[in-house]
């Protein structure tokens, strides 16, 4: 991981130095941990873990925790200490991990959409198709696919020579880094668009097409069954619609805009905080399970005391 221009660290211009910002992000981070841990604990300690949709949801919550931690911990450190420097190695590591865990979320959302498609469009074959082996295979394929994607971006960036060391962002991302390169990056920018933007666009189109087919097949269901199916699908569609606008950051030409920092705050911090609410507020089964698991654990702790 040796750089070619004696750049040993980068200065993140990022956000304004403000203690209120630190308090806000600390509260957001605590909320992210609380909400996602409640979901993971409730699923793993109940029969929901045997259902593919909730199996994927527990791993989505886990990826949210890792994804947010790669960004927000360093951001809060900068806000608290006033030192906005990040070493070259840590910068490249952050570039890899944010795309790795963020991309795993995309693939898990795709797996959840496939699960809903099979459950609604092929209900008689659902138990055979979505067995635990198939779910594990989808999860492993998500990790492997995203490893290749993140490694590609990492290799495209790590061999670039950098001249200035001021990154106009609050974390190390590919486009702000390309802006600092001391060489032409047109070809690399095109590869980034092909790697991230087009891939995200294809997955988004596939997801939307699957839900069009789901909505079409729901016409044959009774009103009660349709409402139950929509209650699970609507949560997933909401998360997909909120998360996928990020693809427009990587499908455009290599450039950075002042609005990018605000936009990335939304999908790196606010969406992981909203996900637990989205998946519980309209899901009666999830709400009942959380209440039951929490009550049982409190009862067991009370008896031990």
Q: Strands (DSSP E) along 121-191, which ranges?
A: 166-167
80 occurs within a structural domain: yes
Can you give the pTM of this predicted structure?
A: 0.87
Q: How far apart are CA 125 and CA 100, in angstroms?
A: 33
154 occurs within a structural domain: yes
299 occurs within a structural domain: no
2 occurs within a structural domain: no
Contact 54, 293 (CB under 8 A): no
C-alpha closest to that of 35 among 72, 70, 60, 71 = 60
Q: How far apart are CA 153 and CA 264, in angstroms?
A: 18
Number of Cβ atoms within 10 Å of the Cβ of 107: 21
Tens-level pLDDT at each residue, the chain (305 residues): 444 556 788 988 877 666 678 888 899 999 999 999 999 998 998 888 899 999 999 999 999 999 999 999 988 888 888 788 899 999 999 999 999 998 898 899 899 989 988 988 888 899 999 999 999 999 999 999 889 989 988 998 888 888 878 888 888 888 888 888 888 878 888 888 887 777 778 888 888 888 888 888 877 777 777 777 777 777 888 888 887 777 777 777 666 666 777 778 888 888 888 888 888 877 778 888 888 887 776 656 555 55
Looking at residue 238, its pLDDT comes to 82
| Structural domain for 192, as ranges | 15-289
Which of the 8 DSSP states describes residue 97?
A: H
Number of Cβ atoms within 10 Å of the Cβ of 265: 18
Q: Based on DSSP, count helices (H) and strands (E) in the chain, helices before strands.
A: 13, 3
* Contacts with 47 (C-beta within 8 Å, 6 or more apart), sequence order: none
Looking at residue 305, its pLDDT comes to 56
Looking at residue 30, its pLDDT comes to 94
Looking at residue 32, its pLDDT comes to 93
Structure tokens that stand for 113 in this block: 């959409």
105 occurs within a structural domain: yes
174 occurs within a structural domain: yes
> In this structure, what are the phi and psi dihedrals at residue 82, rounded to the nearest 5 degrees?
85, -5
Structure tokens that stand for 117 in this block: 């498609």
Structure tokens that stand for 263 in this block: 């936009």
147 occurs within a structural domain: yes
Number of domains in the chain: 1
44 occurs within a structural domain: yes
Looking at residue 6, its pLDDT comes to 63
Q: Sign (positive/negative) of CA torsion 120, 125, 131, 136?
A: negative
CATH number, domain of 216, equals 1.20.1070.10
């Amino acid at each position: 991981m040796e750089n070619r221009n004696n750049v040993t660290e980068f200065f993140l211009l990022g956000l304004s130095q403000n203690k209120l910002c630190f308090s806000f992000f600390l509260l957001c981070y605590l909320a992210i941990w609380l909400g996602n841990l409640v979901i993971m604990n409730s699923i793993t300690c109940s029969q929901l873990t045997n259902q593919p949709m909730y199996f994927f949801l527990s791993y989505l919550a886990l990826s949210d925790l890792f994804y947010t931690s790669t960004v927000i911990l360093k951001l809060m450190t900068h806000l608290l200490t006033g030192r906005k420097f990040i070493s070259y190695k840590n910068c490249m590591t952050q570039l890899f991990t944010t795309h790795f865990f963020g991309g795993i979320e995309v693939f898990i959302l795709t797996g959840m959409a496939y699960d809903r498609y099979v459950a609604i469009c092929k209900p008689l074959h659902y138990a055979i198709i979505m067995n635990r082996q198939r779910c594990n295979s989808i999860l492993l394929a998500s990790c492997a696919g995203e490893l290749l994607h993140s490694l590609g971006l990492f290799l495209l960036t790590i061999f670039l020579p950098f001249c200035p060391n001021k990154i106009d962002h609050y974390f190390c991302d590919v486009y702000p880094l390309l802006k600092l390169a001391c060489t032409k990056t047109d070809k690399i920018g095109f590869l980034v668009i092909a790697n991230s933007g087009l891939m995200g666009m294809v997955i988004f189109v596939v997801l939307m097409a699957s839900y069009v087919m789901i909505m079409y097949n729901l016409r044959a269901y009774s009103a009660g069954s349709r409402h139950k199916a929509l209650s699970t699908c609507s949560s997933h569609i909401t998360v997909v619609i909120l998360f996928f606008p990020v693809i427009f950051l990587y499908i455009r030409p290599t450039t950075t805009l002042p609005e990018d920092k605000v936009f990335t705050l939304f999908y790196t911090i606010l969406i992981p905080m909203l996900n637990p609410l989205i998946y519980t507020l309209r899901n009666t089964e999830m709400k009942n399970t959380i209440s039951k698991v929490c009550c049982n654990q409190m009862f067991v702790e009370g008896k031990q005391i």
